[in-house]
Structure 1
Amino acid sequence: MNKNNILDNYRDWLGHHKMPAGKKKTLAAAIELFSQQGYNGTSTTQIAEKAGISQATIFKYFKTKSDLLAEIMQPMIPELKKAFLPQLKKHIQLEDTVHFIVQDRFKFLAQNADLIKILLQECLVNAQLRQMLLANIKAVIVADFEEYWQLLRQNNPQIANLSALELVRINAGLLFAYFTQRFILNIPTQSEADDLSLIEKQILSLLTLK
């Protein structure tokens, strides 16, 4: 199983999670169809047919298709951090850390481009989904990343006086800008490796400003 793929991770999580059979069938069918034909291209009728259940069963557990997407995403940040954070904590030198974050997280974004685009679009109009994602991200930073950030600063005195949240914003901002170029605007690149190397240099420059 590819640990960088949300849908594969979710199927694994779903297989071990206890919930009513109808709800589990709905979620399994939805992630398969969303990955194949997109969120907007998938109807609850298609999900019901794929799951072998009635639409009434779907609406028993989810008021809207948007609620269904929110349910799919709800456990994913806590699950994915189990793979990402242990690897991140192996890096205690700033350049190594930035290299790992840029390479690993862009690979994650690229492998899940279709679902990430769906999430970005839905977050613009779905306040519930937006708040849920923000709450999960904040929980990761507060609960797990803050301790690592302090260790990194102790080992790298050249780092500017930034908070963990500011570090995340710097990394995420540049990576999402590049993701938008590549996968939303569909602007081609001559060398992805060169592009990511430049992003690493830009991040390092921002992190060491005094």
Structure 2
Amino acid sequence: MTDKIIDDFNDLIASMEMPAGKRKVIGAAVSLFSEQGFNGTSTAQISELSGMSEATIFKYFKTKRGLLETIINPLIDNLLPNYGQEFVQNRVPKDQGLEQTIHLIVIDRLTFIYDNRLILQILMSEVLVNNELLDRLKQKATPLIIQLSSTFETLITNSKFSVIDLFRLLVGQMFFELLRITKFEDTNNDYDIQLIADKITKSIVATF
């Protein structure tokens, strides 16, 4: 079952103690930022969609960037690490060969990215221009990579390449697809996850 970040984000916001108007502003901002980008969205548009005045928005959030951080921080600090941990523990195959393992991982993560591309667009827009944010993401990802390492070490024992080399290839390919899905292409109708996963898997396996 694919994780739905927006649903979980809304549940998280709903569980927090805050005025109903503030929740409406956050919900409107998520919708507009994902469709138009942070810079392409005005507080007037957020005001119109949320039904809250601009004065009220700035009472809750001192700046538009403060509103953006209210959205991004739970993603980095809570939701994405939880998804990653669940993926490593429950979805990474333990009894498959290298090709099958890589293929299953790539399909799973491409599906996750594609299904959650709207809110991931918000995150990626900031990651590309904010090194501090990128460092936070790397810090959260490091424990997951360490856990995955033990799985891959048993699969490439006869290769001249290392687990680090494998991760470099895999992460590089997946990051490119993340950018492609969220930033560079209209992938609403023609993004073939199976085809892309086949190509990525073959290119990595051919190296090892």
Q: Bin the TM-score by the shorter chain.
A: 0.7 to 0.9
Aligned to 1:20: 18
- What is the Cα deviation at residue 146 of structure 1? 0.8
- What is the Cα deviation at residue 100 of structure 1? 1.9
Measured at CA, do residues 51 and 184 of structure 1 come closer, stay the same or move farther in structure 2, by a change above 3 Å? same
Aligned to 2:197: 196
Aligned to 2:152: 152
What's the C-alpha RMSD, in Å, of the aligned pairs? 3.3
TM-score (norm 1): 0.73
Q: Does 1:84 align with 2:87?
A: yes
Q: Deviations over 1:73-131 (max 9, x none)?
A: 22222243244233334435332321122111111222233444444333333x2xx42
Aligned to 1:51: 50
Kept after mapping to 2: 8 A contact 1:170/1:203:
yes
Name which of structure 1's ranges 175-184 and 131-140 shifts more when overlaid on structure 2.
Answer: 175-184
Kept after mapping to 2: 8 A contact 1:74/1:132:
no
- What is the Cα deviation at residue 197 of structure 1? 0.5
- What is the Cα deviation at residue 47 of structure 1? 1.9
> In 1, distance between residues paired with 2:95 and 2:68?
36
Matches within 5 A, 1:4-153: 4-16=3-15, 18-21=16-19, 22-76=21-75, 77-93=80-96, 94-125=98-129, 127=130, 130-142=131-143, 144-153=144-153
Match of 1:96, as an amino acid? Q
- What is the Cα deviation at residue 34 of structure 1? 3.1
TM-score (norm 2): 0.73
Residue correspondences, number: 199
Identity of aligned residues (%): 32
- What is the Cα deviation at residue 200 of structure 1? 0.8
- What is the Cα deviation at residue 20 of structure 1? 2.1
Measured at CA, do residues 97 and 116 of structure 1 come closer, stay the same or move farther in structure 2, by a change above 3 Å? same
> In 2, distance between residues paired with 1:27 and 1:186?
25
Q: Which has the higher contact order (CA 8 A, sep 6+)?
A: 2
Measured at CA, do residues 173 and 80 of structure 1 come closer, stay the same or move farther in structure 2, by a change above 3 Å? same
**Which consecutive residues of structure 1, in runs of 5 or more, have no partner in the other structure?**
none
- What is the Cα deviation at residue 196 of structure 1? 2.1
**Which consecutive residues of structure 2, in runs of 5 or more, have no partner in the other structure?**
none
- What is the Cα deviation at residue 185 of structure 1? 4.4
Match of 1:122, as an amino acid? E
Kept after mapping to 1: 8 A contact 2:153/2:163:
no
- What is the Cα deviation at residue 59 of structure 1? 2.5
Match of 1:112, as an amino acid? N
